[in-house]
Structure 1
Amino acid sequence: MAQAGVRTATADDVATLAALHRETWRFGYAELLPREVLDGLDEPENAQAWAAAVDGGATVLIANEGDADVGFCVAGPAPAEEIAAADGTPPPDADSVVLISTLLVVPRWGRRGHGGRLLATASAQLREAGAQRGVAWVPAEDPASLGLYRRAGWELDNTVRTLDAGGRPLREVRVTGPLDLPLSGTP
């Protein structure tokens, strides 16, 4: 296997991030999301959203293997509504909770440790900034992502939401866990 790693995204990576986003969603979520939603990833607004993420203070990472960029992660401060209990009550540790808003690997590069390296690297950077715990929303029908978080010691917290994904309901479950993940041996 070629050398694998994780790097922090820069403004020069916007097109790469948009392409990774498009590819991971089209292959990974073809059964979950309507075609119109997936086709919308070609729009210039997608690249603009990535530019805003890179410039907006979020932790944006890219996984690579050899010369190929194979996955990405976006994480940062957790909006109150993303970490609150179902009744809207914030958790007692709200000030030290971050959101892993996206963590995806191109399917053909899956099962090679890229997701684990992305999560461990994001966790280390967020921990350095004072965070202690992370949350992520994962489609309930995405066993690969759920497995990644479980192997990292994260657990379902019994919070569920249903999003409108282009006229189709998308059920997501919330996972949560510590940010003290080891880089070596990470799934």
Structure 2
Amino acid sequence: MAHQHDHAGHSPHSPGPLADASVRVARETDTPAVGLVQATVWREAYAEVLPAEVLETFEPQAFASVWRQSLAAPPQGVYRLLAACAGDQVVGFAAIGPSQDPDASPGTGELSALGVHPQARRVGHGSRLLNAAVDTLRGAGADRLHTWVLASDEATRAFLLDAGLDPDGAFRDRVVSPDGETAREVRLVADITPEPPGQ
């Protein structure tokens, strides 16, 4: 369901109503825009964690190439790349699939990436992406959601906590550079079992 919002960068000279905000399954033609959003968001999130020369390797084209290959030959299972749009412009993305955690119970889905361009934040794109991710995973039979968040990324962690996810005490140190530098991530989880009708 689309909602009208005022978006950053909207020109007052544009004809017609404000751009509709929506979420849909991403297409291969969306990958350059997804790559741009991911590079921008990742550079921001890792700015306090990695040196500048490593941040510079977070290139839109490199991210776009990975997403293009993934969409062209998706792995087995319910893997989806979702795109948040302001009108026709992709301003955010979310990637979901089965949880890869060794301790995950059957029926656990994973939100493996979530990002909204800084100029398009605070108008609901992140919430729409998260809701679409949960709905898609539920539709595939998932009853639990896992996601890993940079321990230093307070804004994303606060957003997810407000949305109903909670830390379960698990953490990991993920290699994030060719030189072997690591970043601490914490796991957030949620029960996404649908409520019975009439609740």
TM-score range, shorter chain: 0.7 to 0.9
TM value normalised by structure 1: 0.82
Larger radius of gyration: 2
State whether structure 2 residue 176 is matched by structure 1 residue 179. Answer: no
Show structure 1 runs of 5+ residues with no match.
85-89, 183-187
Write the distance in 2 (CA, Å) between the matches of 1:43 and 1:4. 23
Deviation at 1:22, TM superposition (A): 1.1
Q: Give the aligned partner of residue 123 of structure 1.
A: 134
- Percent identity over the alignment is 34
The structure with higher relative contact order (CA 8 Å, sep 6+) is: 1
| Cα-to-partner distance string for 1:59-80 (whole Å, 9 max, x where unaligned) | 101112234321110000112x
Identify the match of residue 47 of structure 1 among 51, 64, 86. Answer: 64
1:110-149 alignment, distance < 5 Å: 110-149=121-160
Write the distance in 2 (CA, Å) between the matches of 1:63 and 1:121. 10
Q: Give the aligned partner of residue 66 of structure 1.
A: 87
Q: Which runs of 4+ in 1 moved over 4 A?
A: none
TM value normalised by structure 2: 0.77
Please tell me the residue identity of whatever aligns with 2:21: A
Deviation at 1:32, TM superposition (A): 2.4
Write the distance in 1 (CA, Å) between the matches of 2:168 and 2:98. 19
Identify the match of residue 181 of structure 2 among 159, 168, 181. Answer: 168
Question: Of Structure 1 and Structure 2, which has the larger fraction of its residues in helix?
Answer: 1
Superposition CA RMSD, Å: 2.2
Number of aligned residues: 172
Which secondary structure does the structure 1 equivalent of 2:94 belong to?
strand
Q: Give the aligned partner of residue 9 of structure 1.
A: 26
Show structure 2 runs of 5+ residues with no match.
1-5, 7-17
